[in-house]
């Protein structure tokens, strides 16, 4: 390992079915964790149970990203909010929720659809973005979104880890520099003085360019998809149908496995994971096979599938 500050992104596919759950597949939700921050992308029915089955801690979830307000993407929100609130302890938990235009009204209706005590402070931000834009950032990463083309207002999301410097431990060892808090200065590009020797950051670090994971759920293939997925390390895309049902996909403004692979190939993605499958496909291998004809590095997600990405 070259750097002592390597971080790993965790991705867990909590639900991979479209429209309704099956015995094997719950409806849409993905958990992303980076440097202790938990991010939930969509929250279909049963998501809180899937979180438990995956061995995840719901208290880590700080942000919820809602692609759109069809029921299979949001019907688990009340349960999630109850779970987070019930185990938040004495301090009120704050949950940042981002979604398309109409999110505040829809959430209000949802919260009033049953009687429960919410112990969660929900901060809602509505996004209406004609181009790919940052809606949240910290020192480590940016979250971006753009409007897609579905039957209702819909967003696609992109997680982008910022450019960073990696420490070259072998070079430090050759210079007699031990590990310690002084390495943080080097990682920030600052030269240091160590035991009377000047250590230049440019000589013992290398720039690690930004990396992105893009998420495209319900939409027809459009220009915004290409903007969103451009040069992604990983593209996670819906593949509701095989391409023999492309007319049906166009009618309901969804994508086929063939179209998702075409997108991955043309936008320079390194890997494609398909999700959000129609219940007509008991075996999604045929969707994977269709996509691989265009983009070899493709696989289909399954419920509770976990990925660790070196980011």
Give the Cα separation of 17 and 226 in Å (integer): 24
> What residues pair up with 166 in beta bridges, in sequence order?
206
Q: Which of 42, 72, 218, 303 is catalytic?
A: 72
Nearest to 15 by CA among 217, 156, 259: 217
Query: Quick one: CA dihedral 230, 231, 232, 238, positive or negative?
Result: positive
Is residue 140 annotated as a catalytic residue, yes or no?
Answer: no
- In the block, tokens 């200065």 appear at 185
Residue 271, Cβ density class (10 Å: 0-12 exposed, 13-18 middle, ≥19 buried)? middle
Catalytic (active-site) positions: 72
């Amino acid at each position: 390992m070259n750097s002592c500050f390597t971080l790993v992104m965790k991705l867990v596919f909590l639900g991979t079915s479209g429209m309704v759950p099956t015995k094997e597949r719950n409806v849409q939700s993905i958990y992303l964790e980076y440097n202790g921050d938990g991010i939930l992308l969509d929250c279909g029915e049963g998501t809180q149970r899937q979180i438990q089955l995956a061995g995840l801690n719901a208290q880590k979830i700080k942000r919820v990203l809602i692609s759109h307000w069809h029921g299979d993407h949001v019907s688990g929100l009340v349960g999630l909010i109850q779970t987070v609130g019930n185990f938040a302890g004495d301090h009120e938990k704050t949950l940042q929720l981002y979604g398309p235009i109409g999110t505040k009204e829809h959430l209000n209706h949802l919260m009033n659809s049953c009687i429960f005590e919410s112990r969660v402070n929900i901060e809602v931000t509505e996004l209406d973005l004609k181009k790919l834009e940052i809606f949240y950032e910290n020192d480590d990463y940016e979250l971006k979104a753009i409007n897609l083309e579905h039957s209702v207002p819909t967003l696609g999301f992109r997680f982008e880890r910022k450019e960073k410097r990696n420490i070259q431990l072998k070079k430090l060892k050759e210079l007699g520099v031990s590990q310690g808090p002084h390495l943080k200065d080097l990682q920030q590009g600052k030269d240091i003085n160590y035991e009377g020797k000047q250590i230049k950051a440019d000589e013992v670090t290398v720039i690690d360019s930004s990396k992105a994971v893009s998420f495209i759920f319900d939409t027809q293939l459009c220009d915004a998809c290409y903007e969103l997925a451009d040069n992604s390390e990983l593209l996670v895309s819906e593949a509701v149908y095989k391409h023999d049902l492309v007319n049906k996909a166009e009618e309901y403004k969804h994508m086929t496995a063939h179209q998702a692979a075409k997108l991955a190939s043309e936008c320079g993605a390194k890997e494609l994971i398909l999700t959000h499958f129609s219940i007509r496909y008991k075996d999604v291998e045929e969707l994977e096979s269709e996509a691989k004809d265009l983009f070899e590095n493709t696989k289909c997600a399954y419920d509770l599938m976990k990925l660790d990405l070196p980011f």
